[in-house]
Structure 1
Amino acid sequence: MYRFGVTPWERYGKAAADSIAAVLHREEAERSRPLGRALDLGCGRGQFTPELGRRGWEAVGVDYVPAAIEAAERKRPEGVTYVVGDVTNLAGAGLGTFDFFLDIGCFQGFEADRRRGEGRSVSALANPGATLLMLAFGVTRLRGRIGGVSQAEVEDAFPDWEMLDVRPAETAGLGWPMNRSSPQWYRMRLRPE
């Protein structure tokens, strides 16, 4: 899709920048400084990873599309790292552990086995008390084309995590048919062992 310039998730990120900033601010408000390490799952060309770094996270972006990571590297600010990797299998990537995970539109595009793979992968890299903030479309008749998941499917993929909050996401800038997908922000915390 990058090759053809079809990147609706980037258009949404620009249109919903204020609402995304608000959920990140809410996430950071209950943390002390320094914030810790953050992993931007499915970071693409690095639209949100630099914002995490600017906010004080030690930010790492991961995506399995080498061309996207190359584009992110060209505009990489100091203190931000990008890695080519599969979010459903990060165990061998040598990334270390993280305090916060951000998934804006990555998880929703996977089939059930890959969603569970992302859940296992994130859980393996999570520090105690880590949180995950995920933006995902709801299930629609166009699921095969635009993705989409239910809350139950999110919870199924992350059995070791507690759902803290579910809120509707801004739909301005999505365009049809994605603006009919009832996007949600899911906020979860790794349960103590």
Structure 2
Amino acid sequence: MTNYARMYRFGITPWERYGQAAAASIAALLDREETGRSRPFGRALDLGCGRGQFTPELGRRGWEAVGIDYVPAAIEAAKRQETDGVTYAVGDVTDLPSADLGTFDFFLDIGCFQGFDTERQRAEGRSVSALANPDSTLLMLAFGPTRLRSRIGGVSQAEVEAAFPDWELLDVQPAETAGLGWPMNRTSPQWYRLRRQT
């Protein structure tokens, strides 16, 4: 069982508190993602969606949104929100083709990738690439590597690029740390934006 699954089991979900605290900055990043796209925007996949904190927002914005997480209890909680145009699936982000979800134009990863070891990071990269339409984009929030990495995760820019070799890194910017609390506010979280190269 991963740290993530254990935390769900005991009802500890600090990432949800962060999502509320950073809602304005996340909304601004999604606004930027939608700039230049025409409605309907296409299909979006929320990777490691948990209880669906961000998936409904994608649906409200005009995406055909799908949330995926491997913790069944989280997906059951997400489904209770009943947001139009949003669906959920129990599945492994490192093996997306087996979930039979189709292809996507946008991928959102808020804290999922950072919890994996190198092998699973690269598996997520291959998995996302297999479902990516040409010119699709990926927006990822990840902690930087710290001494607490074994407990709270974290990745370097080089690890992100190694896991997504067929993607162009468009932007890296520091993430808001308000609401994270100690020790996570010391992890130098970054937003990574990538585009699938054709």
Deviation at 1:76, TM superposition (A): 2.4
Stretch moving more, 122-131 or 4-13: 4-13
* Counterpart in the other structure of 2:191: 185
Give 1:53's match in structure 2, choosing from 55, 59, 62: 59
* Counterpart in the other structure of 2:13: 7
TM-score when normalising by structure 2: 0.96
1:96-143 Cα offsets, whole Å, 9 max, x none, are 000000000000000000000000000000000000000000011100
* Counterpart in the other structure of 1:85: 91
* Counterpart in the other structure of 2:123: 117
* Counterpart in the other structure of 2:167: 161
Aligned to 2:124, the other structure's residue is in SS state helix
Give 1:74's match in structure 2, choosing from 57, 62, 80: 80
Aligned to 2:95, the other structure's residue is in SS state coil
Give 1:41's match in structure 2, choosing from 47, 50, 57: 47
Query: How far, CA to CA, are the matches of 1:152 and 1:3 in structure 2?
Result: 32
Q: Which runs of 4+ in 1 moved over 2 A?
A: none
* Counterpart in the other structure of 1:141: 147
* Counterpart in the other structure of 2:28: 22
Query: How far, CA to CA, are the matches of 1:78 and 1:25 in structure 2?
Result: 20
Return 5+ residue gaps in structure 1 as ranges. Answer: none
What is the root-mean-square deviation of aligned Cα atoms in Å? 0.6
* Counterpart in the other structure of 2:156: 150
Return 5+ residue gaps in structure 2 as ranges. Answer: 1-6
- Percent identity over the alignment is 81
1:102 alignment partner AA: L
Deviation at 1:92, TM superposition (A): 1.5
Stretch moving more, 42-51 or 70-79: 70-79
Stretch moving more, 60-69 or 75-84: 75-84
2:139 alignment partner AA: L
